């Protein structure tokens, strides 16, 4: 009997928890050499194609005659292998997601679509013979000539030119047109040209000693107040890693990856530092990925999805602001980039450095219980003092457009000193709600359980949840009164009020609306310059920018966060307040923070003021332990949405019934989602909690096939969120 032909097992980007068998393309034989390579395969009845990854080969189990053949092999060499592939398998197992979808999430869009791996050879520029000749002749001094003289000393790398010769591209083009210079492939790696580090503070020096004393995988929590020099510690650790010939990956929050951050890294490390974020084009992202895969690039700084970059010569992983919410993917494969960084670090056998002024309670718990090394930086570097904090009790005080007189006076005094003030309110738009003063009616979104936000000074209503827009009514729809008024204040209203009060001051508003374009934030801050001025904005301002003239941070409206039902609300509010306050007085000028509140006696504020973040964290950890919430328990949230409430409830009831009870694991619900209707869909959820992680995952593994088989599942969109950060 002839042996069965070998087939390819292919992971495809479809929401089915299985792999698919294909015959190799006609005339080719399947074998281990296919593992990790992409293939284009026919899929479905429509005759469409999909790009998938070969994850196994072997003899056909069933009738090979029934199998289709793959169209083509897309990679000569494996694209995904080794540790990265193992880590993706871990993601699929831990988040209970199909491997094909995990792979599609991990790959840059161009590679996912089947495009070839970009050419990552380094290019440079060299003078031609004619160029050497021309350089000796006298000529007009200008950029092209200076570049030519430079190239006559030897070819220059494009990355190197980018860093040290701004504007070189136009000059190179001019030289090329005259046949004086040409683009060439460069050999060998670029030597680092690091800039000397500042003398470390005692805290930094101790942290470096601790970091250097270990070997292999080590999770390290670097807890340091804002401005204490954590970034300097990262830079030093990365420099060590580069000197050892290894690669480093640095994750930063979505709002933290600024040109300022990149140029600081580039200048200090003296090597090209790749950026990786959603603002890059598909081609650039694929190129950065390929650069890391080939080992040509040594340092990559990127946001959440950069955690999937290849690290064949890994030496260090850094997660800056490890508590930041943007590390959690909130749709599709709902991974947490910090947690995945730890998994990768352990598989790679390299240290993982988590840094924050306000660590997540999960990481803090791990550090306090000895599972992570815990390093602390207690003081600001370079002599800057911590800002003084003052609470403005505004009970029974009139607020004009959300601002108290005392707060306005503090802003005025700051401007008079020639310094800059930040007025922070985590709410964009003009006002959070439009209400009728006569009957209490308020403008609600027709498709969501939510108020419409007032925009454009009252001329427009926008739903921040589904994007619906409406024109405000002239009269109350319920009582026909004309007394419709925007209630409360968002950044737009604060901006107006501040402009009226300080007409001479330079005023810059920074929120999602004013920063849609990628470089918008930089432009706004450039407009502010070094002169006296006011920044008004949301949490976009909380992180990432060093503004040496900023000495006053005025926080307006902490009150919403004090009374939220979310079990993480206290942690998040404390983190946000500390981060925003950390903007004040980062340089030689002393800083001040004022908190305007109606609840000056709230225990969270008191604890924060007296004991800082560590005190709040201790309090919150005790509460979590008492209530059996993470990090003392483990959660998974099953979410469902559908056209009708009945469909959602039907599915969730069936889902609960299909849940096999086991010790220490409970399914709770169905419960309404905090927003029971959104964008016209009814929503609901079921919460699974467990005291042990393993037990949770064992229960989920059993539950998911049962969920997929439910008839009622066909009428809803559902998803499972492991370790949810938001319970809605």
Instruction: Give the per-residue contact string, 538-557, with ligand ADP (x = CB under 6 A; - = no).
Output: --------x-----------
Residue 232's binding partner among ligand ADP, Zn ion, none (Cβ under 5 to 8 angstroms by kind) is: ligand ADP
Dist CA 466 CA 446 (whole Å): 10
Q: What does the DSSP assignment read for 316-327? A: EEEEETTT-GGG
Toward Zn ion, which CB reaches closer, 439 or 704? 439
Distance from CA of residue 181 to its chain's centroid?
Answer: 42
Residue of 288, 292, 265 lying closest to 277 (CA atoms): 288
CB of 476 to ligand ADP, least distance (A): 49
CB of 511 to ligand ADP, least distance (A): 23
Binding segment for Zn ion (CB under 5 A), chosen from 260-268, 430-438, 521-529, 540-548, is 430-438
Strand, coil or helix: what is 655?
helix
Ramachandran assignment for 340, one of left (phi > 0), alpha (psi -120 to 50 degrees), beta (any other): alpha
Instruction: Give the CA count within 13 Å in the CB-facing half-sphere of 107.
Output: 27
Exactly one of 126, 174, 368, 439 binds Zn ion (CB under 5 A); which one?
Answer: 439
Instruction: Give the per-residue contact string, 364-383, with ligand ADP (x = CB under 6 A; - = no).
Output: -----------------xx-
Toward ligand ADP, which CB reaches closer, 272 or 355? 355
CB of 196 to ligand ADP, least distance (A): 11
Asked whether position 231 contacts ligand ADP by CB under 6 A, the answer is yes
**Site for ligand ADP, residues 191 to 230, rule: CB under 6 A:** 198-201, 204, 224, 226-230
CA distances from 247 to 250, 254, 274, 311 (A): 10, 22, 12, 7
From the number of C-beta atoms within 10 Å of its C-beta (0-12, 13-18, 19+), residue 114 rates as middle
Contacts of 175 (CB under 8 A, 6+ apart): 131, 144, 147, 148, 151, 181
Exactly one of 147, 273, 311, 445 binds Zn ion (CB under 5 A); which one?
Answer: 445
Exactly one of 75, 160, 223, 232 binds ligand ADP (CB under 6 A); which one?
Answer: 232
Residue of 534, 537, 497, 510 lying closest to 401 (CA atoms): 497
CB 124 within 8 A of CB 184: yes
Report the run of H or E that residue 353 belongs to, with start and end.
strand 351-356
Toward ligand ADP, which CB reaches closer, 381 or 687? 381
# of chain residues touching ligand ADP (CB under 6 A): 16
**Site for ligand ADP, residues 618 to 637, rule: CB under 6 A:** none
Binding segment for Zn ion (CB under 5 A), chosen from 14-22, 446-454, 566-574, 580-588, is 446-454
Strand, coil or helix: what is 580?
helix
**Site for Zn ion, residues 449 to 488, rule: CB under 5 A:** 463, 465-466, 468, 476, 478-479, 481
Dist CA 327 CA 334 (whole Å): 10
Asked whether position 107 contacts ligand ADP by CB under 6 A, the answer is no
**Site for ligand ADP, residues 41 to 100, rule: CB under 6 A:** none
Toward ligand ADP, which CB reaches closer, 229 or 488? 229
Toward ligand ADP, which CB reaches closer, 227 or 684? 227
How many distinct helices (H) and strands (E) make up the chain?
21, 30
Q: Which tokens hold the place of 267? A: 């200048």
CB of 581 to ligand ADP, least distance (A): 12
Toward ligand ADP, which CB reaches closer, 208 or 534? 208
CB of 589 to ligand ADP, least distance (A): 13
Q: What is the binding site for ligand ADP (CB under 6 A)?
A: 198-201, 204, 224, 226-232, 381-382, 546
């Amino acid at each position: 009997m002839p042996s069965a032909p070998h087939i390819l097992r292919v992971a495809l980007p479809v929401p089915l928890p299985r792999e698919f068998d294909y015959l190799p393309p006609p005339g080719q034989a399947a074998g281990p050499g296919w593992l990790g390579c992409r293939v284009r395969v026919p899929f479905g009845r429509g005759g469409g194609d999909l790009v998938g990854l070969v994850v196994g080969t072997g003899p056909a189990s069933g009738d090979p005659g029934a199998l289709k053949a793959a169209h083509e092999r897309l990679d000569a060499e494996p694209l995904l292998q080794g540790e990265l592939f193992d880590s993706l398998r871990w993601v699929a197992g831990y988040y209970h997601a199909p491997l094909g979808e995990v792979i599609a999430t991990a790959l840059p869009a161009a590679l996912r679509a089947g495009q070839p791996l970009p050419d990552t050879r380094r290019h440079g520029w060299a003078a031609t013979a004619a160029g050497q000749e021309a350089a000796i002749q006298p000529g007009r001094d200008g950029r092209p000539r200076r570049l030519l003289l430079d190239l006559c000393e030897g070819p220059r790398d494009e990355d190197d030119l980018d860093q040290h010769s701004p504007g070189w591209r136009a000059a190179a083009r001019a030289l090329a047109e005259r046949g004086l210079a040409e683009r060439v492939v460069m050999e060998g790696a670029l030597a680092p040209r690091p800039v000397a580090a500042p003398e470390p503070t005692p805290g930094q020096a101790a942290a470096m000693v601790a970091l250097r004393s270990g070997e292999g995988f080590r999770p390290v929590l670097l807890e340091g107040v804002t401005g204490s020099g954590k970034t300097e510690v990262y830079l030093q650790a990365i420099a060590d890693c580069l000197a050892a010939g290894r690669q480093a990956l640095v994750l930063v929050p979505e709002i933290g990856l600024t040109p300022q951050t990149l140029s600081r890294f580039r200048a200090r490390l003296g090597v090209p530092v790749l950026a990786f974020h959603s603002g890059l084009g598909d081609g650039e992202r694929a190129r950065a990925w390929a650069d890391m895969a080939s080992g040509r690039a040594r340092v990559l700084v990127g946001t959440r999805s950069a955690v999937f970059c290849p690290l064949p010569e890994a030496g260090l992983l850094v997660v800056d602001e490890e508590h930041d919410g943007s590390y959690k993917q909130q749709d599709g494969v709902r991974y947490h980039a910090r947690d995945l960084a730890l998994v990768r670090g352990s598989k790679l056998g390299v240290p993982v450095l988590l840094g924050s002024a306000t660590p997540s309670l999960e990481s803090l718990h791990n550090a306090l219980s000895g599972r992570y090394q815990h390093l602390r930086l207690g003081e600001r570097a370079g002599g800057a003092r911590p800002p003084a904090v003052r609470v403005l009790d505004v009970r029974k005080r009139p607020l004009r457009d959300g601002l108290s007189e005392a707060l306005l006076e503090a802003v005025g005094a700051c401007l008079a000193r020639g310094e800059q003030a930040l007025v922070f309110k985590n709410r964009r738009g003009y006002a959070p709600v439009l209400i009728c003063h006569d009957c209490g009616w308020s403008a609600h979104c027709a498709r969501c359980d939510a108020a419409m936000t007032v925009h454009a000074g009252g001329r427009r209503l926008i739903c921040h949840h589904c994007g619906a827009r409406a024109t405000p009514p002239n009269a109350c729809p319920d009582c026909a009164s004309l007394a419709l008024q925007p209630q409360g204040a968002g950044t737009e209203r604060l901006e107006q009020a501040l402009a009226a009060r300080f007409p001479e001051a330079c005023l810059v508003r920074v929120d999602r609306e004013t920063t849609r374009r990628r470089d918008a934030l930089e432009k706004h801050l450039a407009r502010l310059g070094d002169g006296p001025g006011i920044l008004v904005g949301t949490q976009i301002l909380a992180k990432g920018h060093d503004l040496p003239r900023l000495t006053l941070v005025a926080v307006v409206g902490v009150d919403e966060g004090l009374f939220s039902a979310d079990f993480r609300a206290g942690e998040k509010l404390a983190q946000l307040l500390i981060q925003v306050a950390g903007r004040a007085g980062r340089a030689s000028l002393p800083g001040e923070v004022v908190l305007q509140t109606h609840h000056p006696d709230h225990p969270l504020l008191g604890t924060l003021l007296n004991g800082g973040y560590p005190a709040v964290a201790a309090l919150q950890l005790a509460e979590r332990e008492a209530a059996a919430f993470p990090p003392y328990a483990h959660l998974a949230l099953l979410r469902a949405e559908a056209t009708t409430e009945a469909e959602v409830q039907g599915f969730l009831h069936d889902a609960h019934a299909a849940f096999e009870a086991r010790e220490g694991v409970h399914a709770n619900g169905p419960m309404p989602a905090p927003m029971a209707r959104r964008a016209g869909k009814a929503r609901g959820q079921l919460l699974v909690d467990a005291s042990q992680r393993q037990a949770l995952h064992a229960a989920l593994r059993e539950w998911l096939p049962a969920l997929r088989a439910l008839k009622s599942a066909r009428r809803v969109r559902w998803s499972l969120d492991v370790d949810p950060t938001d319970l809605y």
